């Protein structure tokens, strides 16, 4: 049987559902991602090593050395060149991927904007890691937040399975939205821990991502294309930026649709937000990434004790699924937003600011508390999460303002 269900925003995936086979494996998050890379078999991968992403480029090098991919593998001399070459490769009409983390993502900053401004469907995995100084190789979201406003679609994985699924989903989303996509996974916690998960068979993945046929290419010999023109006069620049805004806004249903298609193939749901225990919850935590599991464990325990608590995990971070998030937390009496990245000097953490805007837009006025946790891989102990719910209970009872004056650091005085 071939799934030919017509869809609203993207074409159907040409997957033979009767032939889908999934293997359950135990592997690190990075190796799950590398496996997805092998199955997608991009035309070019231009990458540079950086902890904790390195085992992806190492594993991919083995695929290249053994002829298991047709990819031209360009081992560049910096992350700046990694993104520069990936941009060239994508503009040439190839499916072009890369991988980075932390300082590498920071070094790419100008190129991130160029990739999205040129509307190139690049997929880049980011292994989320702290930003210097002080230097620290462990997981947090400081690096991602530096890319937040760069016009990339950003998908946040909680675990290896989501990192694998998001890599495949990202390929179709990028090409349908004509925007670069950054699926991320948390450094070490997800990149290096061995986890159980399922991997689809090669034919299913290949059929799902399909063949990339670019609208334009530098390699098209008839009617030469110009990429990266000088838009210095008149309103051209602003028109291009407006088109980018329209494109990333329009990508939200694309992500949802492609996620739903992948879910129909492998039986795992993809939602922009994932809720646990929120239906009757008074106290809700909003979080992204690997620590969502810690919060879920606490929620399970507290609910067993009869407390009405819940957690909402944000999977699609850009574009921000404001309506989905607002709907998920609409019954809460108090909300805590846990951020794994600073926005120094801002009234709250980055995810907290997005949450506040979502609530405001939905006309929801409940107390929100902004917390910082797990910076530089600091432990996210369950007792710290319990403390958050205890705080929220007080906030829900006493009010004492809609927003705390400055984010509270969990586990640090």
Partner 1 sequence: MATIKELSRTRDRLVGGHRLCAGCGASIAVRQVMLGAGADTEVVTACATGCLEVSTTIYPYSSWDTPFIHNAFENAAATISGVEASFKGLQRAGKIDPERKLKFVAFGGDGGTYDIGLQSLSGAMERGHNIVYVCYDNGAYMNTGIQRSSATPRGSWATTSEVGSVQPGKPQRRKDLTAIMAAHHIPYAAQASIGYWQDLVRKAEKAFAVEGPAFLNVFAPCPRGWRCDGAQTTAIARLAVETAFWPVFEVEDGVWRLTTPARAREPRPVAEFLKTQGRFKHLFRPENAELLEEIQRDVDEYYAGLKRLAGEE
C-alpha–C-alpha distance, residues 241 and 110, integer Å: 15
Cβ proximity to partner 1, 85 vs 332, nearer residue: 85
277 exposure class (CB count in 10 Å sphere: 0-12, 13-18, 19+): buried
Distance CA 33, CA 23 (A): 15
Q: Is 5 in the site for partner 1 (CB under 8 A)?
A: no
Establish if 88 lies at the interface with partner 1 (CB under 8 A): yes
Which one of the spans 108-116, 242-250, 265-273, 383-391 is the region binding partner 1 (CB under 8 A)? 108-116
Q: Does 71 interact with partner 1 (rule: CB under 8 A)?
A: yes
Kindly state whether residue 256 participates in binding partner 1, applying the rule CB under 8 A. no
Mask for 8-47, x = binds partner 1 (CB under 8 A) = ---------------------------------xxxx-x-
For the CB of residue 95, give the shortest distance to partner 1 in the complex, in Å.
Answer: 8
The reply on whether position 78 binds partner 1 by CB under 8 A is: yes
Choose one: 31-39, 72-80, 241-249, 313-321; the region binding partner 1 (CB under 8 A).
Answer: 72-80
Return the ∠ at Cα 329 (arms to 325 and 330), rounded to 5°: 110
Contact 182, 115 (CB under 8 A): no
Total residues binding partner 1 (CB under 8 A)? 47
Burial (0-12, 13-18, 19+ Cβ within 10 Å), 357 = middle
Task: Give whichever of 77 and 400 is closer to partner 1, judged by the CB atom.
Answer: 77
- Helices 202-209, 236-266: axis angle to 10 degrees equals 150
- Residue 251 found at the interface with partner 1 (CB under 8 A): no
Q: Is 218 in the site for partner 1 (CB under 8 A)?
A: yes
Based on the shown chain and the rule CB under 8 A, indicate whether residue 64 belongs to the binding site for partner 1: no
Q: Reduced to 3 states, what is the DSSP secondary structure of residue 372?
A: strand
Q: Does 91 bind partner 1 (CB under 8 A)?
A: yes
92 binds partner 1, rule: CB under 8 A: yes
Applying CB under 8 A, does 321 fall inside the site for partner 1? no
Based on the shown chain and the rule CB under 8 A, indicate whether residue 74 belongs to the binding site for partner 1. yes
CA 190 vs CA 127, 154, 205, 377: distances in Å: 9, 17, 22, 12
Task: Kindly give the residue spans of alpha helices, DSSP state H, lying in 267-369.
Answer: 292-304, 322-328, 350-361
Strand partners, 25: 197
* 1, 18, 66, 70: which one binds partner 1 (CB under 8 A): 70
Is residue 180 part of the contact set for partner 1 (CB under 8 A)?
A: no
Return d(Cα 399, Cα 333) in angstroms, integer: 10
If one asks whether residue 2 binds partner 1 (CB under 8 A), the answer comes out as no
Q: Print burial letters for 383-392: b (CB count within 10 Å at least 16), e (below 16).
A: ebbebbbebb
72-to-41, 257, 284, 306 alpha-carbon distances in Å? 10, 30, 47, 56
Given 28, 39, 53, 84, the residue binding partner 1 (CB under 8 A): 84
116 binds partner 1 (CB under 8 A): no
Contact, 47 vs 104, CB < 8 A? no
Q: How far is the CB of 104 from partner 1 (least distance, A)?
A: 14
Q: Give yes or no for residue 104 binding partner 1 (CB under 8 A).
A: no
The reply on whether position 233 binds partner 1 by CB under 8 A is yes
Q: Which residues neighbour 56 within 8 Å (Cβ) at sequence distance 6 or greater?
A: 30, 31, 33, 34, 37, 47, 99, 125, 127
Span from 87-95, 137-145, 308-316, 362-370 in contact with partner 1 (CB under 8 A): 87-95
Q: Which residues bind partner 1 (CB under 8 A)?
A: 41-44, 46, 70-72, 74-78, 80-81, 84-94, 96, 110-111, 114, 211, 217-221, 224-233, 236
């Amino acid at each position: 049987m071939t799934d030919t269900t017509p869809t609203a925003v993207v074409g159907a995936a040409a997957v033979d559902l009767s032939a889908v086979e999934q293997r359950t494996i135990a592997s690190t998050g990075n190796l799950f991602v590398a496996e997805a890379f092998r199955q997608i078999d991009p035309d070019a991968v231009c990458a540079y090593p950086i902890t904790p992403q390195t085992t992806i480029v190492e594993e991919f090098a083995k695929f290249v050395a053994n002829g298991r991919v047709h990819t031209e593998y360009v081992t560049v001399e910096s992350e700046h060149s990694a993104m520069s070459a990936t941009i060239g490769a994508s503009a040439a009409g190839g499916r072009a991927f890369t991988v980075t983390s932390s300082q590498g993502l920071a070094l790419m900053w100008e190129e991130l904007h160029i990739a999205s401004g040129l509307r190139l469907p690049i997929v880049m995995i980011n292994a989320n890691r702290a930003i210097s100084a002080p230097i620290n190789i462990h997981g947090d979201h400081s690096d991602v937040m530096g890319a937040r406003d760069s016009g990339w679609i950003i998908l946040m994985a909680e675990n290896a399975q989501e990192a694998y699924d998001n890599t495949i989903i990202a390929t179709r989303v990028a090409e349908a939205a004509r925007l670069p996509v950054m699926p991320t996974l948390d450094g070490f916690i997800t990149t290096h821990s061995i986890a159980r998960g399922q991997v689809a068979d090669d034919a299913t993945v290949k059929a799902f991502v399909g063949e990339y046929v670019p609208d334009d290419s530098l390699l098209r010999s008839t009617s030469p294309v110009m990429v990266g023109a000088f838009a210095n006069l008149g309103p051209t620049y602003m028109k291009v930026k407006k088109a980018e805004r329209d494109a990333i806004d329009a990508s939200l249903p694309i992500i949802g649709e492609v996620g739903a298609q992948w879910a129909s193939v492998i039986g795992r749901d993809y939602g922009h937000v994932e809720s646990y225990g929120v239906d009757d919850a008074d106290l809700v935590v909003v979080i992204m990434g690997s620590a969502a599991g810690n919060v879920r464990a606490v929620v399970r325990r507290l609910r067993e004790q009869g407390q009405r608590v819940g957690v909402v995990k944000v999977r699609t971070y850009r574009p921000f699924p404001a309506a989905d998030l607002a709907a998920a937390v609409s019954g809460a009496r108090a909300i805590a937003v846990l951020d794994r990245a600073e926005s120094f000097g801002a009234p709250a953490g980055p995810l907290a600011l997005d949450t506040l805007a979502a609530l405001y837009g939905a006309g929801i006025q409940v107390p929100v508390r902004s917390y910082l946790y797990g910076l530089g891989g600091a432990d996210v102990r369950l007792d710290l999460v319990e403390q958050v719910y205890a705080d929220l209970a007080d906030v829900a009872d006493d009010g004492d303002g809609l927003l705390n004056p400055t984010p509270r650091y969990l586990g640090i005085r």
